[in-house]
Amino acid sequence: MKLLVTGGAGYIGSIVTRMLLDAGHQVVVLDDLRTGYEVALAPDAQFVNAPVHEVSRVVTADAAFDGVLHFAALIAAGESMVRPEIYWRNNTIGSLALLDAVRAAGVPRLVFSSTAAVYGNPTELPIPETAVKSPTNPYGASKLAVDMALTSEAGAHGLAAVSLRYFNVAGAYLRDGVALGERHDPETHLIPIALEVAAGRREKLQIFGDDYPTEDGTCVRDYIHVEDLARAHLLALEAAQPGEHLIFNVGNGSGFSNRQVAEVVREVTGHPLPVEVAPRREGDPAELVASSARARATLGWIPAKPTLHDMVSDAWAFYRTHILEQQ
Ligand code: UDP
């Protein structure tokens, strides 16, 4: 297939791009490098440096794309509480611009990076796709709006749409001399921050809140290896059906508290990890754990690296070789 990957210079988009190329697809990457990294671009993909709002320059009838995988977005839940407007503009308005272009050009299928943040504080655990959607931060709301737009787009105009609701993604892609991993500037995510502390690049890990209604009082998240998540995109492309909007949670179904994550980082790195409890981060749900029964049954998706130990080991290998040694 000829595919457009928006956000193909980012963490997940760059890894999916490599896997699509490996599977024999032709890929065009659209990214404005605002949060993406040039080094993450696949040499075999064509690169267009532009924001998603300008996607109609690329997605034309003549370009004859068979599908779009839409990753380009802002992703920091905490930041979205203080700068909501950039989340609505980038994530929601940007996606609507993409849908306009897709419709005008007659692109048949689209896979969207949705998020567990659409559920807010879940009323049932593990969370099925049918659970109440009540986001606790503008990040989740900005993505839920797109999920809703996709449902109506599929119903009214026949798009074959798939939303993958990511839980917490970790690990790296390390093979055939290619190393792709998580890097954000500034870093806001728990595991990469903990690795920076373990490496002595930060003084301590602040754990945001220890008075949540969870076993040890810290937030609980469901972690998934980025390679497993990437594979779900290739399966989603194949499963997409005209006029339908399929929605899948993608997680492992087991939760780790922030304190448990810190412990695994200590184990894997063999370094001390000073931790300090800090106030809660606004907008954080206490516990997000996926039921991925639907993805397993419908897509035949089976995670190959389900342990947090594997994810942190790969993230640490990437961090040491590609961030620490290059600083
Ligand atoms: N977190 C933390 N300290 C940090 C960064 C994150 O305690 O320096 C917590 C955060 O409050 C949440 C969990 O780690 O409970 C996962 O946050 P992250 O930003 O990694 O992902 P999110 O779940 O927001 O997508």
Q: To the nearest whole number, what is the mean pLDDT of the chain?
A: 97
With a cut of 90, say whether residue 161 has pLDDT above it. Answer: yes
What per-residue confidence (pLDDT) applies to 124?
A: 94
- How much is the average pLDDT of 163-188? 94
| Residue range(s) of every CATH 3.90.25.10 domain in the chain | 173-222+253-324
Smallest CA separation from ligand 1 atom 1, residue: 190
* pLDDT category of residue 323 using cuts at 50, 70 and 90: confident
As a CATH number, domain 173-222+253-324 is 3.90.25.10
Among candidates 188, 292, 304, 313, which has minimal Cα distance to 250?
292
With a cut of 80, say whether residue 326 has pLDDT above it. Answer: no
Task: Give 42's contacts (C-beta < 8 A, 6+ positions apart).
Answer: 8, 14, 17, 18, 21, 27, 29
Cβ 207 under 6 angstroms from ligand 1 = yes
Cβ 136 under 6 angstroms from ligand 1 = no
Whether domain 2-170+224-250 has CATH 3.40.50.720: the reply is yes
Q: What are the pLDDT digits (tens) for 20-36? A: 999 999 999 999 999 99
Distance 232 CA to ligand 1 centre (A): 24
- How much is the average pLDDT of 50-76? 98
With a cut of 80, say whether residue 191 has pLDDT above it. Answer: yes
Q: What are the pLDDT digits (tens) for 76-133? A: 999 999 999 999 999 999 999 999 999 999 999 999 999 999 999 999 999 999 999 9
Spatial contact of 65 and 6, defined as CB atoms under 8 Å apart: no
Cβ 281 under 6 angstroms from ligand 1 = yes
With a cut of 90, say whether residue 245 has pLDDT above it. Answer: yes
Backbone φ and ψ for 67, nearest 5 degrees, come out as: -175, 165
| Residue range(s) of every CATH 3.40.50.720 domain in the chain | 2-170+224-250
Cβ 268 under 6 angstroms from ligand 1 = no
What per-residue confidence (pLDDT) applies to 13?
A: 98
- How much is the average pLDDT of 163-189? 94
Q: Read off the pTM.
A: 0.97
What per-residue confidence (pLDDT) applies to 301?
A: 98
Element (H, E) at 237: helix 226-239
What per-residue confidence (pLDDT) applies to 268?
A: 98
DSSP 117: G
What per-residue confidence (pLDDT) applies to 185?
A: 86
Cβ 74 under 6 angstroms from ligand 1 = no
Smallest CA separation from ligand 1 atom 7, residue: 207
Higher pLDDT, 326 or 46: 46
Residue 314 and residue 195: Cα distance in Å, rounded? 11
With a cut of 80, say whether residue 327 has pLDDT above it. Answer: no
What per-residue confidence (pLDDT) applies to 184?
A: 87
- How much is the average pLDDT of 255-273? 98
Q: What are the pLDDT digits (tens) for 34-49? A: 999 999 999 999 999 9
With a cut of 80, say whether residue 151 has pLDDT above it. Answer: yes
What percent of the chain has a predicted confidence (pLDDT) above 90? Answer: 96
For residue 139, indicate whether it is catalytic. yes
With a cut of 90, say whether residue 186 has pLDDT above it. Answer: no
Distance 189 CA to ligand 1 centre (A): 5
Which residue out of 11, 87, 139, 173 is catalytically annotated? 139
What percent of the chain has a predicted confidence (pLDDT) above 70? Answer: 100
Long-range Cβ contact pairs of 85-93 (< 8 A, separation 24 or more): 87/138, 87/139, 87/141, 87/142, 88/138, 88/142, 90/52, 90/142, 91/139, 91/142, 91/143, 91/146, 92/142, 92/145, 92/146, 93/53
What per-residue confidence (pLDDT) applies to 160?
A: 99
